[in-house]
Amino acid sequence: MYDIDLTHLYQIPDLPAPPRRVISLVPSITESLFTLGFGDTVVAITDYCVHPREAVATLQRVGGPKNPEVPAIIALQPDLVFANQEENTPELVHALLEAHIPVWLSFPQNVDQAINTLFDLVAIYHTDAAAMQLKALQNAIDWARGAAQSQDPVTYFCPIWQEQSDDQTWWMTFNQDTFSHDILALFGGHNVFADRQRRSPLAADLGWTESEDPAPQGDTRYPRVTIDEVVGADPQLILLPSEPFAFDESHKRVFAELLSSTRAVKNDNIHLVNGSLITWHGTRIALALQELPIFFISQ
């Protein structure tokens, strides 16, 4: 999380004309630029910008979101750099600003904010066609919300990372203040850790020591939870995303063993899922609308 005020960077940048040379340091924004018809302005991307696959295959890469090659970015003389508070560091943003490179910073934490970010992106390019495309996406989101209200909510657990400490497995998940929570709520998902705040240090977060203050200056949206916590929450559904941690069939089998007493395991309701559908806050929402609802048919 940023400990400095960069509020002004969240505003639509005041450019003299629509940008002709942009660099995207945010995979979901990269895909959105192409989806909305602005791909011809993209001159460089990160190593993690993989969609749309064919379109980005020949673009220059400038490293990862956390440690991009600042000199290479400056040398390309972009009209604008797309960055994200969660994916890019404040040091990077400052370096670009000091080089007089315009930066637009995004940080959507729910679906509505993500759509507003896309509308702002379209406003930068001053095109009506892309705006109409987003209005259609907004209508589809509204329809999905309405459909979810007609069914019983489905409780779920969705880890995004896994580690071991002192030979005990724990998982990182997300709470209600995240885009991931909100996109799954769109389909009737009820996050069993919606109210859980991340505590510091790790031992306190996992309940192994007395809890300290929940790191008020840190990001409390991604708690670490234990096997016992998940068992106690007894989710009806467990989703294992492919990113940021690459859960696969071997992890699915381990989950089935460790969480055998939960309703999700008893009903064979553990599923591998494309992680970008849960974490990418761009036009990939359209694909999420197609592929995620099946998991939330009332159990």
Read off the pLDDT of residues 64-112 as tens digits, 9 standing for 90 and up. Answer: 999 999 999 999 999 999 999 999 999 999 999 999 999 999 999 999 9
Task: Supply the pTM of this predicted model.
Answer: 0.93
Q: What is the mean pLDDT of residues 232-241?
A: 98
User: Does 214 have pLDDT greater than 90?
Assistant: no
Residue with tokens 């799954």: 184
**Residue 12 amino acid letter:** I
Looking at 3.20.80.10, 1.10.3210.10, 3.40.50.1980, 3.30.1330.10, the CATH number of the domain 154-296 comes to 3.40.50.1980
Q: Which residues pair with 288 in a beta bridge?
A: none
| N-terminal to C-terminal alpha carbon distance within the chain | 37
User: Does 217 have pLDDT greater than 60?
Assistant: no
- Phi/psi for 99 (5° steps) reads -90, 10
For 7-107, CATH gives: 3.40.50.1980
User: What is the pLDDT, as a whole number, of residue 8?
Assistant: 66
8 Å CB contact between 169 and 159: no
Where in the chain is CATH 3.40.50.1980?
7-107, 154-296
User: Does 113 have pLDDT greater than 50?
Assistant: yes
User: What is the pLDDT, as a whole number, of residue 215?
Assistant: 47
Distance CA 189, CA 182 (A): 9
